[in-house]
Amino acid sequence: MKQAMLIVNPSSGKEKGQDYSEHALETMTTMGYKTELRITEGEGDAMDFAREACERKFDFVAVMGGDGTINEAINGIAEQYHRPQVGLIPLGTVNDFARALNIPLKPEEAIDIFRHKHVQRTDVGKINDRYFINIVAVGALAEASFSTPVEQKSRLGPLAYIIEGMKKMKEKQPFELKVHSAHDWEGDALLMLVALTNSVGGMETIAPEAKVNDGKLHVFIIKDVALPHFLLLLPKILSGELAESEHVHYMKVTNLEASSSYKMIANVDGDEGDKLPITIENLKQHLDILVPPTE
């Protein structure tokens, strides 16, 4: 019998993680899997469980939780020689990776698509020695997102990030940035976004060209501009035209190196990451993820 693991973060989705576990286990059993259940209790558990599934050569790993839990599980799988197929059951605040893959945001519906066994070859990003699935961001606005209180994120959803970002906008903190890649850039910036997918912070219009399997990093560098010009970028974000602004440098590359004379910390999938300098690359079509069947 094929082997599978179900990794559940019980605190995700207003602590509804365990409520959907039974449905997921029943579904995986009908698919012919002998499934082991793993419940996370703290940071790093999802990564350890996913790594264990790889080392034991499991066929399938389902992950139930928010983007943070999914990020951890991907970090446990991406570095391994044997990488099982992956199923996602989104329970988080934003669920960017699930949005990008068109996975239903209702947990029951996300579980039901497992039955179709429709696989999407999906890119994974690597920053230094860790992995990411959505976005790397650098700048005061980016740092605001990992300082957003958990209670506020649970209560307000994506709006919580916008509120914290608006507070930072008033401070407007430019920083010196050097980017080395196929297309180099150097200057003062307010924000750098390196996107793998089209969904960032719950908005699917920031990087509309980004595909989950295109092998590219979609890089947006917002230059140091006056606050009124910066605020005018918001309509362009909502209309998917951010790359067209004269105040934004946009490029598509497979890898890059970023450094700064300032003490900048990268935001990796919404959490605090490494200090600059950083090296980022796209691992093209590195994972097999179950997604809704195409029409």
| Tokens standing for residue 105 | 């945001």
From first CA to last CA, the distance across the chain in angstroms is 31
Is residue 79 pLDDT above 80, yes or no? yes
Are 115 and 272 spatial neighbours (Cβ–Cβ below 8 Å)?
A: no
Q: Which residue has the higher pLDDT, 154 or 26?
A: 26
Same domain, yes or no: 107 and 141? no
Same domain, yes or no: 146 and 274? yes
Same domain, yes or no: 32 and 69? yes
Amino acid letter for position 129: D
pTM of the model: 0.86
Domain-terminating residue out of 83, 117, 151: 117
- Domain of 247, in residue numbers: 135-284
Beta-carbon contacts of 130 under 8 Å, excluding residues fewer than 6 positions away, are 75, 268, 273, 274
Q: What is the pLDDT of residues 192-243, one digit of tens each?
A: 999 998 877 666 667 878 899 999 999 999 898 776 676 666 666 656 677 7
If you average pLDDT over each of 17-31, 108-122, 141-155, which comes out highest?
108-122
pLDDT at 159: 44
Using DSSP, state whether 176 is helix, strand or coil: strand
Average pLDDT, the chain: 86
Question: How far is Cα 168 from Cα 153, in angstroms, rounded to an integer?
Answer: 17
Q: What is the pLDDT of residues 121-167, one digit of tens each?
A: 999 999 999 999 988 989 877 766 555 555 555 544 444 454 455 55
Domain count, the chain: 2
Same domain, yes or no: 97 and 173? no
pLDDT at 208: 79
| Tokens standing for residue 7 | 């990794």
Same domain, yes or no: 140 and 267? yes
| Tokens standing for residue 102 | 């068109």
Q: Which residue has the higher pLDDT, 147 or 109?
A: 109
pLDDT at 34: 97
